[in-house]
Amino acid sequence: MSTGVGMSSCCISGKIQEGTPKGHEEEINGIPTYVSPAKDQSKARSIVFICDIFGYKFKNTRLLADQYAAAGFFVYLPDFHNGDSLPIEFLQDAEPPLSVRENLSLIDKGLKTGKVATTLGPWLYKHAESVSLPLISGFVRHVKQVPYTNSVGCIGFCWGGRYAILMAHELADAAVAQHPSLVSVPGDFDPVTKPLSLDVGSEDSLLDMKSVEGIKKVLDGKKDTQVKVYEDQVHGFALRGDWSSEKDRKAMDEAEKSGIAWFEKYLKAE
């Protein structure tokens, strides 16, 4: 039986990073998309970013997309929410960084969780797999047909992390899922046939270590997969970590380098 791992208040926690995105927006396959091209404009190795619940306009995601582009990939960050991403104002309504979370009273935790649930539940229903998967799959198929594209990877975060895993079933050439939510274990991992890297925090309240061990058991029987656990990191750390914390900054940096290295290994230019 598959065990579903849900989404809680910490999906909408974290920090907004400093910086100005360098890419541009255009419509691709009927979907508004942030595009961050490689320096040489080559589309040979392309990556589709699958955003978290804050959508394709979230600055942190765009800045990270730029980093992957700087590493030589052509990056697409589509609006898979059809203009209905959760507002950035919700970012601090829920679970804060671990150092703050540990000092919250039970009442404060309950109030935050309740406030988030009234918004998050209806949103997840509206953007269920039956709606979102065809959009994402269709976009990836389109990118694979773009002239001069040789290989296509997918990277997803939180809500988008699960869809990156689903793309590793067959459609993508390689995938990276960072702190995914709403996954089914072993259901989402049994069909994986393409290279898949998973990055999770040891304090992720959406994907506990028991679930992670279950994932490892499934993936251990497959080649070209890895699961990396980042100590003392909460859900969202790879995208919304606190740069003022040396430990959080290091974890974000390591997760970024890990993702880039994975795609450098498995996405072929020719």
10-residue mean pLDDT series, the chain (270 residues): 45 61 97 98 98 95 97 98 89 56 57 70 95 98 98 98 98 98 97 98 92 97 96 91 85 96 97
pTM of the complete model: 0.88
Confidence at residue 9, expressed as pLDDT on a 0 to 100 scale: 40
Half-sphere exposure of 108 (CA within 13 A, CB side): 10
d(CA 184, CA 15): 28
Considering Cα of 237, then 255, then 263, then 183, what sign does the dihedral take? negative
Between CA 64 and CA 263 the distance in angstroms is 14
**At residue 201, what are phi and psi to the nearest 5 degrees?**
-95, 145
Tokens in use for 145?
């047909």
SS3 49: strand
